[in-house]
Structures are given as C-alpha cells and as structure tokens.
Amino acid sequence: METIIFSGVRKTMRGAAAAEAVSRVKKTEDGRLLDAIREATKSPTQRKVSYAIPCASAFRDAVTLLAESRKVNVGDIARSVMLTMPESTVQAMEDPGEPDADDRETVILKSGPSAGKPWRRKPRLQVRMPAGLEVVTIRKALALALKLDRDALKVTLEDAAKPSARERLADQAEEIGRLRSVISALSSEILSNGIRTREEALYVLGIAPGTYPDMQTIKARFRMLATIHHPDSDIGNHERMAQLNDAIAFLRKNQ
C-alpha cells in the first residue's frame, strides 16, 4: 500500500494501481520540466509575448469582426500577413495610428486596489506574437489584412522569371510612344489655317486631290482615321481629330 499526493490531496492505493499512478505523476512532472526547459532555451524571437495595440475604436471593431468571421484570433491575422507578405510591403502600409484624444473605452479593473472600478483607456487590440516586434508594424499588418478583406488591395502572384506587371506596363508605354511617332510620320501635316478648299479636305483625309470619291468612300476613310486619331485611344491626337471633323464637315457641305 502506498500513499500518493495528487495536487495536494493524499490518496492511498494498492499494488498495480499505485504503480500506474506513480508513473502518471512522473510523466506529468517530466513533461512540465521539459516544457520549462524548452521555453527557457527558446531564442527571443521564438518566445511569444503579449502586445497591447492602441488604435481607434472603429479599427479595433473592424479587426475583431474580421477575426470572428474567419474563426481565428487577432494574432493569427497579424501573423498570417507578416509571414506571407514581404516586410517592405507591410512597412509601406499607412499606419492607422493611435486613437483620437476623445476616443476611449471603459473597462472594469479586475485586480489591484481599484478592482471593480471603471477605467477609461485607449481602445486596443491584444495579441500574442513573437518578442521583438514593433507595435506599429503589427498595426500596419492588421490594416493590410483589412484592405485585403475589403478588396481595396489584391494579391497578385507573378513568376519571378518573367517580367513583372510594372515592367510590362513600362514596355507598353514605350511601345505606344513608338506607335505615336510612326503615325505622326505617316500622317499628313496639320493645316495651320484650317480647311479652306475641297483639295485641302481630301488631303486631310488622305485622299488624292483632284479625285471625286463618293460620300460613302469619304465616310469610310473618316471612320478608319478616326479610330487612330480619336483622343480616347492610346495613340490619339486631339488636333488631328479636330481637323478630320472639319474636313468631312466641309465635304458634306460642298459635295
């Protein structure tokens, strides 16, 4: 018969039952010791600490609602953003900042000499994250999560071996510049004095002077050139489009 202490309570047990109980207690104590050793040997960045993130009430409520809708806690959201997004992206986010002077929340103190009394303080979010992080960085990560959830920002996955979207846009802008130069070189000169004769109107439309095309041919040429010179297109030109309009108006009036 052996007497064993379970959480401060003495119990008397016999034979195999006593041996099994002793084994369970030993395993529990060994496990706790191992956990303590693991915690003590963690590097500072591995240890989790509690952060109070001061923020506006609206920001706190929005982040809390997002966490509840995803069935996670606020710390999970911040960690997810900081693990998946480049640090430069998080740091580039605008900091939502601390609450205004009149933005406060009331809590009831649970301990200390003032336990049970109300206390007005800055609204905040509580998160457990690895030690060594800046409060501003965590707040920016949460702000980024909100923007992603609201579709104010989108994540685009790109093949690192291929040109980035920014590089492709730069190439397109360069190509448009080249096309404008080609069109300008191939197009007729803009008449500084406007359309005064039938020959000048035909010249602007790219039709040989001295010819007598029917109105259907003239309209077809106008539509073709309008698709090129219309200001709404990437390669458009306002002056050329205006002179095209003057040319066809002159020919309609003097056909």
The pLDDT score that the predictor gives to residue 34 is: 57
Assess if residue 155 is contained within a domain: no
Assess if residue 233 is contained within a domain: yes
Q: Do 122 and 185 reside in the same domain of the chain?
A: no
pTM across the whole model: 0.51
Assess if residue 89 is contained within a domain: yes
Assess if residue 109 is contained within a domain: yes
CB 167 within 8 A of CB 174: no
Task: Give the number of domains in the chain.
Answer: 3
Secondary structure class of 13 (helix, strand, coil): strand
Q: Do 65 and 116 reside in the same domain of the chain?
A: yes
Q: Do 18 and 93 reside in the same domain of the chain?
A: no
Q: Do 32 and 56 reside in the same domain of the chain?
A: no
Reference 235, options 183, 170, 174, 169; nearest CA is 183
Q: Do 37 and 54 reside in the same domain of the chain?
A: no
Q: Do 7 and 86 reside in the same domain of the chain?
A: no
Distance CA 122, CA 248 (A): 70
Find the domain containing 208 and state its range: 165-253
Q: Which tokens belong to 37?
A: 């050793």
Q: Which tokens belong to 128?
A: 């457990």
Assess if residue 223 is contained within a domain: yes
The pLDDT score that the predictor gives to residue 8 is: 44
Q: Do 55 and 127 reside in the same domain of the chain?
A: yes
Q: Do 176 and 217 reside in the same domain of the chain?
A: yes
For residue 223, CA distances in Å to 61, 149, 214, 216, 231 come to 56, 45, 15, 11, 14
Q: Do 62 and 93 reside in the same domain of the chain?
A: yes
The single residue listed with the structure tokens 């360069």 is: 174
The 10 Å CB-count burial string (b at 16+, else e) for 25-50 is eeeeeeeeeeeeeeeeeeeeeeeeee
The pLDDT score that the predictor gives to residue 3 is: 46
Assess if residue 157 is contained within a domain: no
Q: Do 64 and 106 reside in the same domain of the chain?
A: yes
C-beta neighbour count of 219 within 10 angstroms: 15
Q: Do 187 and 130 reside in the same domain of the chain?
A: no
The 10 Å CB-count burial string (b at 16+, else e) for 144-174 is bbbeebeeeeeeeeeeeeeeeeeeeeeeeee
pLDDT tens, position by position, for the chain (255 residues)? Answer: 544 444 444 445 455 555 554 555 455 555 565 565 455 555 555 678 999 999 999 999 999 999 999 999 999 999 999 999 999 999 999 999 999 999 998 888 888 787 888 888 899 999 999 999 999 999 999 999 999 999 999 888 777 777 777 777 888 888 877 777 766 656 677 888 888 988 888 888 888 878 888 889 889 988 988 888 888 877 778 888 888 899 889 888 887
The CATH number of residue 243's host domain is 1.10.287.110
The pLDDT score that the predictor gives to residue 117 is: 83
